[in-house]
């Protein structure tokens, strides 16, 4: 607690401490300028050790008076600062020696701190430029895929010239830049002020809507300085655009798998088909289907439009037009008893007629379950070898007796 109090005490003392900004001679007719304040010395009387002074803020007189040697005069400076002037001596020939100090103000913020040889008429004041940026559109309601023209202008409504003015217009979401008609080149050296100074054209460009909804265009930002080099910033308004759905194109490809039988015996073959149909209103491009076959099945053969890549049958179509479908047939052989599914992975892309790049889509599909049953002779595989051999011997003996029986009948 004591440490905190000490820090506050020291910082408070530092803030109120006096800092010398000038100590020297000022002649009758000369003046001293601190930012937009001017101290003018007139009526110097060596015999009386006095001199008159006047303080101006730009063209407005703030205070005046008559000072004697070792006497002080002070006045408020900007928001919280204070300037104090002490008359140290008066010389013949209309010359005085003064000391000027400041308190509650950082002298590093002084952008003008100099003796004016020709007096107050030599002073150059820095004002507050105010660059007002206006962003406007030719339409506030458009359809998806339509364009809106954006115009950006700037006007200095302040009381000082804006120097080194640079503009930045962020990229607009939900829109693409279609065309730029005009754009300022680099930094504008200066924008003057006054009623007679026209607006400065900054941008003219077209934006194409890529999404439906109500959107606010982002603000254009600017940075600039006044005559003293102080930095300012400004932002434009944010006009609203309402984008209705319109006629947005879309491809919608569906992959449907079929088989000629949902129940087969082991080692039997089934015929399977895959039907691709585009139910959308835009052509589907680079349509690819990978047919995922369980290990318990063997791919036997398929049409010439089906290729096998690393053991996986694949269908590829460059373009599938809207409301069109294509069918592909292939043969599978069941290898193991059980219940299995045949699935596929579908991918394609299309252009919605609005964006420059194609949109990509993908989905998976699964056919009905296929039940694989035991084959006619699978029981032989299940029984021990001696049973199989005995069965074969008995069957052979039975055939032999049957034949002999027929011979004896004749």
Q: Domain range holding 391? A: 378-409
Q: How many helices (H) and strands (E) does the chain have?
A: 3, 32
Structure token digits, residue 323: 């409301």
Instruction: Tell whether 368 and 260 lie within a shared domain.
Output: yes
Largest CA distance in the chain: 176
Structure token digits, residue 84: 């104090």
Q: Residue holding tokens 């002073």?
A: 123
Q: Judge whether residue 370 has pLDDT over 70.
A: yes
pLDDT band (50, 70, 90) for residue 15: very low
Domain termination residue (choose one: 91, 122, 153): 122
Instruction: Tell whether 217 and 139 lie within a shared domain.
Output: yes
CATH assignment at residue 113: 2.60.98
Average pLDDT of 40-65? Answer: 94
Q: Judge whether residue 279 has pLDDT over 60.
A: yes
- Contacts by 196-202 with C-beta closer than 8 Å and gap 24+? 197/155, 197/156, 199/134, 199/153, 199/154, 199/155, 200/153, 200/154, 200/155, 201/151, 201/152, 201/153, 202/133, 202/152, 202/153, 202/154, 202/167
In a domain, 7, yes or no: no
Q: What is the pLDDT of residues 216-236, one digit of tens each?
A: 999 999 999 998 888 999 999
Instruction: Tell whether 160 and 212 lie within a shared domain.
Output: yes
Q: How far apart are CA 76 and CA 104, in angstroms?
A: 10
In a domain, 11, yes or no: no
Average pLDDT of 21-33? Answer: 95
**0.75 exceeded by pTM:** no
**What integer pLDDT is reported at residue 377 of this predicted model?**
58
In a domain, 9, yes or no: no
> What is the domain count for the chain?
4
In a domain, 24, yes or no: yes
Nearest to 341 by CA among 370, 313, 374: 370
Structure token digits, residue 146: 């339509």
Q: How far apart are CA 224 and CA 229, in angstroms?
A: 9
**What integer pLDDT is reported at residue 11 of this predicted model?**
41
Structure token digits, residue 341: 């599914």
**What integer pLDDT is reported at residue 345 of this predicted model?**
92
**What integer pLDDT is reported at residue 201 of this predicted model?**
97
Beta bridge partners of 274: 257, 328
- Percent with pLDDT over 70 in the chain: 87
Q: Judge whether residue 37 has pLDDT over 80.
A: yes
Instruction: Tell whether 22 and 87 lie within a shared domain.
Output: yes
- Percent with pLDDT over 90 in the chain: 61
Q: How far apart are CA 315 and CA 323, in angstroms?
A: 19
Q: How far apart are CA 324 and CA 283, in angstroms?
A: 9
Q: How far apart are CA 53 and CA 43, in angstroms?
A: 8
Phi, psi (5° rounding) for residue 32? -125, 130
In a domain, 5, yes or no: no
């Amino acid at each position: 607690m004591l440490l905190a109090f000490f820090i506050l005490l020291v910082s408070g003392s530092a803030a109120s401490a006096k800092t010398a900004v000038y100590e020297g001679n000022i002649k009758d007719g000369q003046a001293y300028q601190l930012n937009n304040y001017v101290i003018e010395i007139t009526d110097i009387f060596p015999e009386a050790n006095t001199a008159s002074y006047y303080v101006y803020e730009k063209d407005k007189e703030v205070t005046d008076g008559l000072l004697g040697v070792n006497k002080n005069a002070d006045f408020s400076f900007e928001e919280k600062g204070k300037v104090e002037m002490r008359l140290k001596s008066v010389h013949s020939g209309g010359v005085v020696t003064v000391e000027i100090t400041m308190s509650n103000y950082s002298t590093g913020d002084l952008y003008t701190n100099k003796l004016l040889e020709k007096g107050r008429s030599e002073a150059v004041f820095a004002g507050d430029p105010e660059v007002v940026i206006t962003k406007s559109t030719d339409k506030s309601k458009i359809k998806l895929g339509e364009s809106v023209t954006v115009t950006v202008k700037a006007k200095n409504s302040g009381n000082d010239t804006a120097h080194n003015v640079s503009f930045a217009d962020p990229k607009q979401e939900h829109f693409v830049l279609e065309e730029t008609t005009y754009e300022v080149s680099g930094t504008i050296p200066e924008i003057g002020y006054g009623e007679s100074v026209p607006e400065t054209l900054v941008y003219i460009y077209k934006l194409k809507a890529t999404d439906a909804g109500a959107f606010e265009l982002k603000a254009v930002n600017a940075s600039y300085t006044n005559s003293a080099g102080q930095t300012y910033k400004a932002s434009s308004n944010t006009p609203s655009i309402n984008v209705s759905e319109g006629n947005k194109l879309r491809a919608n490809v569906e992959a449907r798998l079929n088989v000629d039988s949902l129940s087969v015996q082991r080692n039997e073959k089934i015929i399977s088909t895959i039907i691709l149909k585009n139910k959308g209103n835009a052509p589907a491009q680079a349509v690819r289907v990978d047919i995922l076959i369980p290990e318990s099945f063997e791919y036997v053969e398929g049409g010439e439009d089906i290729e096998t890549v690393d053991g996986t049958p694949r269908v590829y179509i460059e373009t599938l037009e809207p409301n069109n479908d294509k069918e592909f047939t292939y043969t599978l052989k069941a290898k193991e008893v059980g219940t299995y599914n045949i699935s596929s992975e579908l991918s394609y892309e299309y252009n919605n007629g609005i964006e420059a790049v194609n949109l990509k889509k993908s989905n998976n599909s699964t056919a009905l379950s296929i039940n694989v049953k035991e084959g006619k002779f699978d029981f032989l595989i299940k029984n021990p070898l001696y049973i199989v051999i005995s069965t074969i011997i008995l069957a052979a003996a039975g055939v032999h007796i049957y034949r002999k029986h027929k011979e004896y009948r004749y």
